[in-house]
Amino acid sequence: MGLGFLFPGQGAQVVGMVGDIAAVEPAVSERFEEASDALGFDLGDVVENGPAERLNQTEVTQPALLTSGVALLDVWRRRGGAEPEVVAGHSLGEYSALVAAGSLEFASAVVLVHERGKLMQGAVPAGRGGMAAILGLDDEVVQACCQAIEGTVTPANYNASGQVVIAGAADAVAAAIDACKARGARRAVPLDVSVPSHCVLMAPASEPLAELLSNADIRDSRIPVVQNYSAAAAIDGAAIRDNLLRQLVSPVRWSESVGNMAHSGTEVFVECGPGNVLAGLARRIDRSLSVHGIGNLEGLESALEACAGL
């Protein structure tokens, strides 16, 4: 019975996240201190005390979530939790997964995603881009609705059956919302985000991100990492680097990624980060999967018990 770890991306952050675990596990504060030293500002204070507006700035959100996920993995390991056989991360979470797999060093990854966040924020002027969640339509219908709109709007996250996130220019996203509603979407709602991720509007960030990635020490991973761009497992460092760059302007193939892991024998997943969004998606993708969130103390202890002996 294979064990996989899933790392969430932007949207999972909240002021005070992993606070109850941090209160009893010094590994959490140790990781945040390491991240703060690498970044040059007190990341732990922002996560613990806010304000939310600061935490939600993309260049802060990304290192905050990466640090939270890696700190939870530290705690898991210190408490004797089973090692994952495969890892994956949603969007930003892919970088956390690479740290877990030994492909990226933590301090380097923190700086890398901080700079990545700056590049993404700067690629599109504030208010010019948008994202929206479309629920209750097949992927192909959402694609057709986007293609029928003048302007830039495309699927950005294929999260699960009947759950697609679209991204693009603000006006085009609004028009696509109306088109999806007209085709019978159960819900079609704009998301409160500052960056239209995983679409061609991120192209201005591609060249500087490529330079950052080329200078990063991305090694072959110890275990397979299922990447967003390909929905396939990678170990080779060069392939991982290439897929990270492609991920910037390409949709997250999350439903395929989880499905492929399950097909390869992964039956138990641990969501290693705040919240339980990925746990919910995994159950929608394959109801036979056993999924555990460890973003709070109760969930951590329950997951450790459930995964004992794996």
| Residues annotated as part of the active site | 91, 198
* Residues 291/283, Cβ–Cβ less than 8 Å: yes
The overall longest dimension of the chain from CA atoms, in Å, is 54
**The pair of three-digit structure tokens given for residue 37, joined into one six-digit string:** 């030293």
Identify the bridge partners of residue 294 per DSSP, sorted by sequence position.
none
* Residues 130/170, Cβ–Cβ less than 8 Å: yes
